[in-house]
Structure 1
Amino acid sequence: MKVRLSILLVLIMVLGFNANLYAYNYQSLENYISYRIKYIHNIAHNGNITLSKVRVREYAKDIIYWSDYYSRELQVNIDPLLVTAILETETNFVSREDYDSGASIGIASMRIDTAKWIAKRININYNKWDVLDPTGLGIRFAVYYLGLAYNKYNGDIDKIIVSYNQGFAKASSKDLDQLYNNYLFKVLGRYNYYQQRIRSYDSTIDNYFAYKLAKLD
């Protein structure tokens, strides 16, 4: 009886950690993230290649998939919209190899030493080209890092965001006033905006953002 109860409690905990992912309708989430990526990528100052609508859907699906995957594995609650807000703030969804004078690469502008550290932690081979590929390791590594931050800071969104930009050590050492820097405002602004947008159309949202995506060149 005690064993069964323990198993039940573990299942409740694991399922509970993923509640936020199910607060969004999957298709609505995919349509909105796809639209946002395409819209921003089209007007990005740092990109010179066209991103197809098929490709943006692959990006969106990867963001949602890895958010769910690492939420379960790390027993946290990673919001795909927060991942999207950080990627937009970092690179406008443009994957390049010359961010920070070559020290950071990919759609998440991740430092190469951090990418190598993550590869070692999850026991896969580091490959520069896989990190440059958003649906290779680019998005996956960013979500994994954020999952660690969710764990470290017990879901404190401010510190999670700052840690992505400045590292765990600096985020841990800052007080509330120091945390509220320009980067944090940019990410929070986008994150809050996304949440408002995705919740503002109720039952029509699936068709609305699919339509908006279809209208983009």
Structure 2
Amino acid sequence: MKFSKLLFYILIILLVLFVKTMEIDSKLLSENMDKYYWILNHTKYIHNSSRISNYVLDVSNRLLDNNYKLLTCVLKTESDFDNFKTGDGGKAYGIGQMHEKAMIDSCKYLGFKSCKYSFLKRKVMKSTLFSIELSAGYLSFLYKHYKGDLDKTIMAYNAGMNNVKDNKFNMIYVQKVKKCINQ
């Protein structure tokens, strides 16, 4: 008898928590409907998780002056939202396909305590949200470094800052990201 009462109370608590969570999600959804709609129309995997959509909006607000389109389009172009993807001969990891130097630079820019590559690589492969955070941090760093020049920011994200300086970059990549942003 005591067990069934305990189980009943646990179920009630879980139900209340679920309803509260739904209220929060609906409030966020109604406040950001146009942003959600845009993100959902430009993704393959992200629409399956409102948590990831919320995180893209949150991190864009915090780090990119609400430029959720830039972050969404870079992530789409890099990995099509596949956090388990490795690219560039096994040197690029996560949803943002970041290389070692970019991960470390972003980590330092964001003020994280541990910026060891082995830790970052492991964390990026395990956590989509962490991978998004690092990607947004790196985009923010580049955007400020290039004083708001979107083309150079996108070029540097894809090819690295030295290649932008030496004019060695892929304009097709830049055009693809910008086309996505303008859709």
Summarize the Cα distance change of 1:117–1:159 in structure 2 as closer, same or farther, 3 Å threshold.
closer
Larger RCO of the pair (alpha carbons < 8 Å, separation 6+): 1
Q: TM-score, normalised by structure 2?
A: 0.70
Q: Partner of 1:44 in structure 2?
A: none
Which amino acid counterpart does residue 36 of structure 1 have in structure 2? H
Summarize the Cα distance change of 1:112–1:96 in structure 2 as closer, same or farther, 3 Å threshold.
farther
Structure 1 ranges of 4+ moved more than 3 A? none
Structure 1: distance between partners of 2:61 and 2:165: 25
Q: Partner of 2:13 in structure 1?
A: none
Give a deviation string over 1:158-204, Cα, whole Å, max 9, x none.
Answer: 11110100111222343xxx7671111111111111xxxxxxxxxxx
Q: Partner of 2:176 in structure 1?
A: 186
Q: Partner of 1:101 in structure 2?
A: 89
Structure 2: distance between partners of 1:172 and 1:189: 24
Summarize the Cα distance change of 1:52–1:67 in structure 2 as closer, same or farther, 3 Å threshold.
closer
Structure 1's unaligned 5+ residue stretches are 1-24, 42-50, 72-76, 194-217
Structure 2: distance between partners of 1:160 and 1:95: 22
Alignment pair present for 1:67 and 2:60: yes
Contact 1:34 1:59 in 2 (8 A): no
What is the root-mean-square deviation of aligned Cα atoms in Å?
2.3
Contact 2:77 2:177 in 1 (8 A): yes
Contact 1:78 1:147 in 2 (8 A): no
SS of the residue corresponding to residue 185 of structure 1 reads: helix
Q: Partner of 1:134 in structure 2?
A: 128
Which amino acid counterpart does residue 158 of structure 1 have in structure 2? D
Structure 2's unaligned 5+ residue stretches are 1-30
Q: Percent of counterpart pairs with the same letter?
A: 22
Q: TM-score, normalised by structure 1?
A: 0.60
Q: How does 1:1-217 map to 2 (within 5 A)?
A: 26-37=32-43, 40-41=44-45, 53=48, 55=49, 57-71=50-64, 77=65, 79-121=67-109, 122-125=111-114, 126-132=119-125, 133-135=127-129, 137-174=130-167, 181-193=171-183
In the TM superposition, residue 35 of structure 1 has moved relative to its aligned partner by 4.4
Between Structure 1 and Structure 2, whose CA radius of gyration is higher?
2
Structure 1: distance between partners of 2:52 and 2:160: 25
Which amino acid counterpart does residue 89 of structure 1 have in structure 2? T
